[in-house]
A and B are shown apart, each in its own frame.
Chain A
Amino acid sequence: NAGVTQTPKFQVLKTGQSMTLQCAQDMNHNSMYWYRQDPGMGLRLIYYSASEGTTDKGEVPNGYNVSRLNKREFSLRLESAAPSQTSVYFCATSFRVTEAFFGQGTRLTVV
């Protein structure tokens, strides 16, 4: 079992470019999350999905969109990347908020 798999692991974008971060889980969890981690800011919730077909904004949703494609997959899209979106992005899943299981992260640099 892979748990939570994120792709890619590293990415460099130019300002204005778009990209999609992929997340897939094989834990059969209903809830999925996208966080960004920045030095001194901890993990901030971007979007979350309580179940297939639903998504909700978190603490810092501006500049991002998400898609809950099915129970397994939850993608994060940057339509027009900005340097302020340089960060480490983590996908996580949970069963009824009992514990968050994290992917290994995607290190994104926007130049």
Chain B
Amino acid sequence: AQSVTQPDIHITVSEGASLELRCNYSYGATPYLFWYVQSPGQGLQLLLKYFSGDTLVQGIKGFEAEFKRSQSSFNLRKPSVHWSDAAEYFCAVGGTLDDKIIFGKGTRLHILP
């Protein structure tokens, strides 16, 4: 069965510091991978997605993610965070096996001024 693990429930970084949020997935075929962000009281916004090709994917708001098949990982990175990046981040997996999109439990990002 497909699954997503986000090992960090909370992460705190200082404004201007770099960020990496971890995501590991399990999927029985080539995965489609996603990162979504949810600001407090808001809906979900797609940051980036990976289907195939270049394993380094660029997204909105200066985010990028790297697909590593050998590690079953799709980690999200940003070189310099801003206070407005404080939110909850969700990794998700889907693909060609069926029509499901499964989400991880999320990582809440806190930014120190």
Q: Check B44–A42 contact: CB distance below 8 A.
A: no
A residues near B96, Cβ cutoff 8 Å:
97
- Among B32, B100, B106, max chain A CB count under 10 A is at B100
Range for the number of chain B residues in contact with chain A: 20 to 34
- Please count how many residues in chain A sit with their CB below 8 Å of the partner chain's CB atoms: 27
Q: Check A40–B46 contact: CB distance below 8 A.
A: no
Flag whether A104 is at the interface (Cβ < 8 A). Answer: yes
Q: Check A41–B99 contact: CB distance below 8 A.
A: no
**With A and B bound together, what is the CA distance between A94 and B92 in angstroms?**
13
Residue interface mask B64-103, A partner, CB < 8 A = 1: 0000000000000000000000000010101110111111
Flag whether A50 is at the interface (Cβ < 8 A). Answer: yes
Q: A99-B46, A100-B92 are in contact. Are A50 and B101 (CB under 8 A)?
A: no
Q: Check A42–B90 contact: CB distance below 8 A.
A: yes
B residues near A42, Cβ cutoff 8 Å:
6, 90, 103-106
- Among B43, B46, B51, B90, max chain A CB count under 10 A is at B43
Give chain A's interface residues, CB within 8 Å of chain B: 30-31, 33, 35, 40-45, 48, 50, 56, 58-59, 90, 92, 94, 96-100, 102-105
> What are 27 contact pairs spanning A and B, CB under 8 A?
A30-B99, A40-B9, A42-B103, A42-B104, A42-B106, A43-B44, A43-B92, A43-B103, A45-B103, A48-B100, A50-B98, A50-B99, A56-B98, A59-B102, A90-B43, A97-B94, A97-B100, A97-B101, A98-B51, A99-B34, A100-B36, A100-B44, A100-B101, A102-B44, A103-B43, A104-B43, A105-B43
